[in-house]
Amino acid sequence: MLRLGVPPTLARTLRSTDAIESMISICRDHSANVKRWRDGTMALRWCAAGMVEAGKQFRRVNGHLHLKALHAALERHVAAENVGTDRHNDTVTAA
């Protein structure tokens, strides 16, 4: 966070996992009534429905005005990391 120059208000918000934990808890509560899971796609549908429900309860991120600056800083960081690196597109098969 310090190297990217994230302002303190946004850094304080991003340092915490509370928002993610809250979303997971709401998803868990939303799908608690399912008694018989049929397949993986059913689980994904219920998870997505829980995330939509959690999205209704989200509040604005503290420091949200600095998100564009964070995005630009991340783009610069990724570009700097990729300069001079070799990319290998060979297919690897595991035994």
Query: What are the sequence ranges of the domains in the chain?
Result: 8-82
Contacts of 26 (CB under 8 A, 6+ apart): 50, 53, 54, 57
Q: How many CB atoms lie within 10 A of CB 68?
A: 9
Mean pLDDT of the chain: 84
Global pTM value: 0.60
Query: Are 77 and 4 within 8 A, CB to CB?
Result: yes
Cα 16 from Cα 13, distance rounded (Å): 6
Residue 52: pLDDT band with limits 50, 70, 90: very high
Q: How many residues does the chain have?
A: 95
